[in-house]
Amino acid sequence: MAESSVDDILSELNRLKKDSSEAKFSSSADGQSDDYSSFFGEDESFDSVDELRNRINDEKREKLEAKDDDKRRVYLSTDFILEENEVLETLKRAGIYKTQGNRAILYTVIMAIAAVGFALSCYYGNNYNWLFFSVLCVVIIGAIWLVPTLHLKKLARENTTGDSVRMKITNEDITQKSGDKEWIIPLDKTGTLEIGEEIIIIRTYHGQMFTIPKRSIEPDIYKRVLQVLKNGTESYEE
């Protein structure tokens, strides 16, 4: 295309803008007509064909996003502040300590059997050296249960910030906002769902964990919201 022809086209477009005329461009792909009159604002003009092409592409993208918004159904929109007990349960389920749950029970049983064995050896053998090992086993049992619990409670207090979280759950994703931070968790079967006593945990394939307090979901819509989450995730397995 000759440069003079380009200049003529741009001049004509800018003239149409000044006259507040409607601009319509026919799509060669589907034969549909798009109205681009919104391009021509009071202070807007085009200096190149590329600029005009980019503006048209932006308009098409905005229309597609608007269509996507029409398909997205909001099931829950709420605000919440995580309480200390909810943060504590989240930390417990994060697996910070390996000696928790079934593993802690197994270690406790082993240490208890060992403690009883050493105590019997001390009693029947009259050798008080075995008593030391029996007491040591009891101390280890205490450490298995007390150390993780005390540390997690401390972390829970430190991480209970009182910050408000804005959450929206749709059939396509979960959005959480806190301050100037925003996270979008897609419900496309790439994450996992774990239902706890007081919380619901979503884990992404990036390894992130997001906590939803059960109390933030009204009882009359809880089952429906939970089904939406189940449809978009896999069940979490340790």
User: Which CATH code is given to the segment(s) 74-82+163-235?
Assistant: 2.30.29.30
Pick from 115, 108, 94: which is nearest to 210 by CA?
Answer: 94
Q: In this structure, are residues 18 and 11 in contact, taking their beta carbons and an 8 Å threshold?
A: no
- Say if residue 82 is exposed, middle or buried (CB neighbours under 10 Å; 0-12, 13-18, 19+): buried
Pick from 226, 220, 145: which is nearest to 193 by CA?
Answer: 226
CB atoms within 10 A of CB 91: 20
Residues in the chain: 238
- For residue 125, give Cα distances in angstroms to 106, 111, 158, 198: 28, 20, 50, 51
Q: Phi and psi of 112, rounded to 5°?
A: -65, -45
Pick from 158, 172, 150: which is nearest to 69 by CA?
Answer: 172
Per-residue pLDDT of the chain (238 residues; tens, 9 = 90+): 444 555 666 666 666 555 544 444 444 444 444 444 444 444 455 555 666 666 666 665 565 555 555 567 889 999 999 999 999 999 988 888 766 667 788 888 999 999 899 888 888 887 878 888 899 999 999 888 888 889 999 999 999 999 999 999 999 999 999 989 999 999 999 999 999 999 999 999 888 999 999 999 999 999 999 999 999 999 987 6
Pick from 227, 234, 236: which is nearest to 73 by CA?
Answer: 227
Q: In this structure, are residues 88 and 153 in contact, taking their beta carbons and an 8 Å threshold?
A: yes
Distance CA(175)–CA(162), nearest Å, equals 19
Q: What is the DSSP letter of 204?
A: -
* pTM summary value: 0.60
Q: Phi and psi of 22, rounded to 5°?
A: -85, 135
Q: In this structure, are residues 197 and 92 in contact, taking their beta carbons and an 8 Å threshold?
A: no
Q: Determine the distance from the C-alpha atom of residue 188 to the mean position of all C-alpha atoms in its chain, rounded to a whole number.
A: 12
Confidence at residue 130, expressed as pLDDT on a 0 to 100 scale: 85
Domain positions in the chain: 3-68, 74-82+163-235, 90-159
The radius of gyration of the chain from alpha carbons, rounded to an integer in Å, stands at 32
Distance CA(96)–CA(221), nearest Å, equals 33
Distance CA(115)–CA(107), nearest Å, equals 12
